[in-house]
Every structure is written in C-alpha cells, then in structure tokens.
Amino acid sequence: MNGQMMDFPLTITSIFRRAETFFRAREVVTRRPDKTITRYRFGDFADRTRRLLRVLQDLGVQRGDRVATLAWTHAHHLEAYFAVPLAGAVLHTLNLRLHPDDLAYIINHAEDRVLIVDASLVPLLERIRPNVKLETVIVIGHDGTVKDAVDYESAIANAEPATDLPDLDERAAAAMCYTTGTTGKPKGVLYSHRSIALHSLAICLPDALGIGECDAVLPAVPMFHANGWGLPYSCAMVGAKLVLPGSHLDPVSVLELLEGERVTVAGGVPTIWMSILQTLESGQRSYDLSALRHVLVGGSAPPASLIRALDKHGIKVLHAWGMTETSPLGTVARVPAALVNASEEEQYRCRSKQGRPTPFVEIRAAKVEGLVPWDGQTMGELEVRGPWVTSGYFKDDGADRFTADGWFKTGDIATIDESGTMEIQDRSKDLIKSGGEWISSVALENCLMGHPAVAEAAVIAIAHAKWAERPLAVVVLKPGASATADDLRAFLAPQFPKFWLPDAFEFIDAIPRTSVGKFLKSALRERYKTYRIEA
Ligand code: ADP
C-alpha cells in the first residue's frame, strides 16, 4: 500500500518562490570589482531573476539546454543560479581559473548554448571563443566592446518579469559542475532539482551548518566550486542574508566583510583560513568577529593546529568533507553528544576528523578484500551513496567509479571508527606506499603545520629503490622563523611510527595552489620527480 502524501516536486522553483514570498526584505550584499559594496533585497533579486528568466526564454533557451556562467561571487551570478534552472535549463558554472584550453574542452563537452560572463573575464573568453560554439554571450557590466554580445543590465531592464514559472520535474537536471580533472579529463556532474532541494535542507540542519533566517552567510568560496557549496540555495530557502565577496578573497577583504556585515556563518577552504589567521596574528588591526558563530572549512583537511589557533581569535571551525560529486556536503565533524564533556584535547581531535554523514548520506570503506571494519584503524577507500551523490558523469557512465551494488568510489582513503566518525587519511593518489604499508601524507602534513615555525607543509611520495616510495616533506616556514630537518623530524617522532617519518625535508617559499585554493601536490611531484632518497 502506498502512502497518500502528495507527490509534490522538490524544485529550485519552490526555493525561489519561498525567498520571493517570505524574505523580500532580507539583504544580498555584493562586493564589486572596485571593492565598493552594493546591496539589494531578496525582493529585488526575485524581480530581476524573473526578468532574466524572460530574457533566457526570449533567446530561445529550452528545457535541458546548458547555460554557462563565467563569473565571480556576486548578485548577478545569484540571479543566474535561479533563472537558469527556473527556465528548466541547466546552470553550468565554469571554473574561471582553468586554462583556456580546458575551458574550451568543457564548454564543448557540455554543449553550452549561452554564456553569461563578467566583463572583467571577457579577455579570458576571447581566448576561448575561437574554439567553442556559443550561440549567445551575455555580458555583466558590458561596456560595448564585445561584439554581438547581449548587455545583461539593459536586457533585464527591457524585459517584463516572467509571470508564469514553468512546472518542472524534480528529477530534471538543474545545474552542472565539472570536476577539476587532476586525473584525466574533467568530468561533468549533473545535479537535479531534487538533489539540490534536499541538499539545501540538509545544510541548514542544526547539526550541519544550522542556518536560519537571522543568519548572515558569507561564502568565501567561488560560486563555480561545487555550487558555491550549496550556500546560495540554502540561504534563499531560509531567508539568510547573503554576503557575496566578488573576486576579493584576500584575508583583509574577507575580514572586513565578516566584521562590517556582522556575518554569522562563513565557508572556505583551509588556505583561506590560514591566510586569515596570519593576518590576525600579524596584529596590524583587530576585527570585531563577535557575530560569527562558525566557519565551514572543507575541500581539504584543516590541521588541528589551525582549528585551535582560529578558536583563539573567535573563529570556530566547523569541519566538513565533500566533493563535487556529492553536491558537495557529505560529512560534518560536529562533536557528538557522547563527547560534549570530553577533554578539550579529545574534542579537537574529533573536530579535525571529517565527521559523520548527514542524514540520507551513507558511508563505508573498502579494500580489495572487502569492507573494512569500523575500528578507526583500518584504511580503505571511502564509498558513499545518497540522494545528492552522483550516479554517473555527463556523457560518461564513469563505470570504474561505482561498485557493483551502486556505491560511489570517492578515491579518498579513510578510516571509520565505532561511532561512524570518518577520517580521511589521503587521496588514493597521494597515499605513500612504503614497503607494502600505507603512510598518510595528510596526517604528517597536519602535524607539521602544528610546529610553531611552519606555515605550510605538503608531503609527497618519492620513488625509492628498496621501499617503492618514501615520504618527502615540502615545508614553508613562517616569516622570520627557522627550523631544520632534524627539528621537524624530532617534532613528528612521538606521534608516528618510525617508518612514517619523512626521509627528507625541502624548504620552499610557497606551496602551489589548485584553482580552488588547495595545495597542488601534482606540481610538487613534478618538481621533485628526479629527487633521490638513498636506499
Ligand atoms: P578537486 O578534485 O578539485 O579537489 P573537489 O572539490 O570535488 O575537487 O574535491 C573533493 C576532494 O577534496 C575529496 O575527494 C577529498 O579528497 C578532498 N576533501 C574535501 N573535503 C575534505 C576534508 N574536509 N578533508 C580532507 N579532504 C577533503
């Protein structure tokens, strides 16, 4: 017997109507390219989004068509986040830090018909354009210099707001992001209305980000990085004020917004918070961060030392794990009820793990021999499933990424303990395989970054005649600080088995970053590919 509840579709349209109906007075704040701040309300956003929807319809955008964006984090981009899916089309956010050849490949692969681009990114577009087929280009902040382009502002001004919002199937595609393709070609992940609606709800749960109408949320993460971590949709759903930093993710700009807009929740990768910490520690200026409840940190593992140091400045880290393929939220490291009275030490240990899955996401870890026990010790590849986890890639079933029983193989190596708390040990390609044993580069890095002289550390595998691979630690010292390889090895020694300790240390000025601000280990591997460690 079936239940009798309505089969009411879970769509972005519902989220939009809610923002438009109940939260008209809530603000959307944007930092413009010249750093000035502009603000409008969800009521203005809704009117402009309906106009953009009309513009897209008049351009002939059909259901399922891909409409790409090449844009920073601002209110116009937010309008596209909604107008494109409201039209039944697919919002394809392009990563503006990619090489033009990769962007051209992605635009062609996705078969994007329309592109909405920031005027400041037109020079990048010009490098791509000869290699792609785009029917229409819409420029935000158009100064008339782009041939055959539609000017976003005048198109919106001239369009009547669309009054009827198309009825949509919740399973229809709403948005798409390509993985950065560190291994092989980038792959398209296609989100549905349903997955985005459910993911938006999950983010807002008290034991996830706990966002509500009275919050002011700053995504210090580009809107092309896994749907801006879902924050734009969640904030519109609950009516939280959105504070959009434009292209200004330098520490002082972010700190000014956190203070000036009384931000309560922010999100960003660890390197953003590392640079914010350095700015705060330089003591040049103090910032009133008393409104800030917590900052979501994910994308790579924040060292426990970073979590502690930020706490001292009133920035409480809420650590989460996710992937483009998981929309992105997968697990959150909330201190469980059983540990609320545990020692400070134990709580920090818990907060630096990746945590337990959100409702409807399930996890397990496997080795070739089968599933690994939840003992907090045995490493295996993390597998996930859930309603906002991908089941394939665009025009590519990605068969090698799925188990026979339909779980997604993340490529992350993890342990899971008795309480279901997951800890990432490494990406499988970064794991160091020494004499048949696995060494976690993440654990070594995070410990090294707890040394008072160390600003950044990355540990990579170096080929070794006897052990197959051995760890090399690449270290950036804090300005004016000093430490030798022996000092650092002695610092690590009490925490790890002897065979985990790096054989060599290299000191450099900066660790290269990926397009979304993570440490780019492939560049280090390339740099040290002829490095020799004596057998
Ligand atoms: P990219 O491959 O460009 O990094 P994603 O942003 O989708 O693309 O990255 C997902 C990967 O980032 C995960 O598979 C994992 O390796 C890593 N990651 C994400 N969050 C965390 C975290 N909290 N701790 C450790 N690693 C993380």
Sequence-ordered strand ranges (E) for 11-142 = 27-31, 37-41, 66-70, 90-93, 112-118, 136-140
Question: Is there a contact between 88 and 172 (Cβ–Cβ < 8 Å)?
Answer: yes
The number of the ligand 1 atom at minimal distance from the alpha carbon of 326 is 7
Cα–Cα distance between 163 and 101 in angstroms, integer?
40
All structural domains of the chain: 12-20+38-191 (3.40.50.12780), 432-533 (3.30.300.30)
pLDDT > 70 fraction of the chain, expressed in percent and rounded: 99
Q: What is the pLDDT of residues 130-140, one digit of tens each?
A: 999 999 999 99
DSSP symbol at 303: P
Dihedral class, residue 118 (left if φ above 0, else alpha if ψ from -120 to 50, else beta) = beta
Q: Whose CA is nearest to atom 24 of ligand 1?
A: 301
Could you tell which of 98, 300, 319 is best to mutate to test the pocket of ligand 1, judged by most ligand atoms within 8 Å of the CB?
A: 300
Please tell me the predicted confidence (pLDDT) of residue 59.
98
Q: Is the model's pLDDT at 272 over the cut of 70? A: yes
Q: Whose CA is nearest to atom 9 of ligand 1?
A: 323
| Ligand 1 in reach of 326 Cβ (< 6 A) | no
The answer to whether 374 is a known catalytic residue is no
Q: Is the model's pLDDT at 502 over the cut of 70? A: yes
Cα–Cα distance between 89 and 12 in angstroms, integer?
12
**For range 170-188, the mean pLDDT:** 88
Burial of 373 (0-12, 13-18, 19+ CB in 10 A): middle
Burial of 290 (0-12, 13-18, 19+ CB in 10 A): exposed
The number of the ligand 1 atom at minimal distance from the alpha carbon of 320 is 23
| Confidence band of 307 (pLDDT split at 50, 70, 90) | very high
Q: What is the pLDDT of residues 415-461, one digit of tens each?
A: 999 999 999 999 988 999 998 889 999 999 999 999 999 999 999 99
Please tell me the predicted confidence (pLDDT) of residue 182.
59
Query: Closest Cα partner for 69 from 52, 92, 86?
Result: 92
* Locus of tokens 């970054």: 449
| Ligand 1 in reach of 331 Cβ (< 6 A) | no
Residues forming a β-bridge with 320? 332
Sequence-ordered strand ranges (E) for 352-453 = 356-357, 362-367, 370-371, 380-385, 408-416, 422-427, 432-434, 437-439
Of the residues 11, 69, 93, 179, which is catalytic? 179
The answer to whether 20 is a known catalytic residue is no
Could you tell which of 323, 383, 388 is best to mutate to test the pocket of ligand 1, judged by most ligand atoms within 8 Å of the CB?
A: 323
Question: Is there a contact between 121 and 94 (Cβ–Cβ < 8 Å)?
Answer: no
The answer to whether 498 is a known catalytic residue is no
Q: Is the model's pLDDT at 336 over the cut of 70? A: yes
Q: Is 128 helix (H, G, I), strand (E, B) or coil?
A: helix
Q: What is the pLDDT of residues 405-422, one digit of tens each?
A: 999 999 999 999 999 999
Q: Phi, psi (5° rounding) for residue 138? A: -110, 125
Please tell me the predicted confidence (pLDDT) of residue 181.
62
Burial of 237 (0-12, 13-18, 19+ CB in 10 A): buried
What mean pLDDT is reported for the chain? 96
Of the residues 182, 259, 378, 438, which is catalytic? 438
Helix, strand, coil: what percent of the chain each, to 5? 35, 25, 40
pTM of the entire predicted model: 0.93
Q: Whose CA is nearest to atom 2 of ligand 1?
A: 180
Name the amino acid, one letter, at 76: H
The answer to whether 421 is a known catalytic residue is no
Question: Is there a contact between 249 and 267 (Cβ–Cβ < 8 Å)?
Answer: no
Cα–Cα distance between 239 and 18 in angstroms, integer?
8
CA atoms within 13 A on the CB side of 50: 15
**For range 25-48, the mean pLDDT:** 98
Cα–Cα distance between 438 and 270 in angstroms, integer?
24
Whether the bond between 336 and the residue before it is cis, its omega within 30 degrees of 0, is no
Q: Is the model's pLDDT at 148 over the cut of 90? A: no
Please tell me the predicted confidence (pLDDT) of residue 183.
58
Q: Is the model's pLDDT at 404 over the cut of 70? A: yes
Burial of 422 (0-12, 13-18, 19+ CB in 10 A): buried
Of residues 145 and 200, more confidently modeled: 200
| Ligand 1 in reach of 11 Cβ (< 6 A) | no
Q: Is the model's pLDDT at 528 over the cut of 80? A: yes
Count other Cβ atoms within 10 Å, centred on residue 112.
23
Please tell me the predicted confidence (pLDDT) of residue 535.
66
DSSP symbol at 256: H
**For range 464-490, the mean pLDDT:** 95
Q: Whose CA is nearest to atom 10 of ligand 1?
A: 323
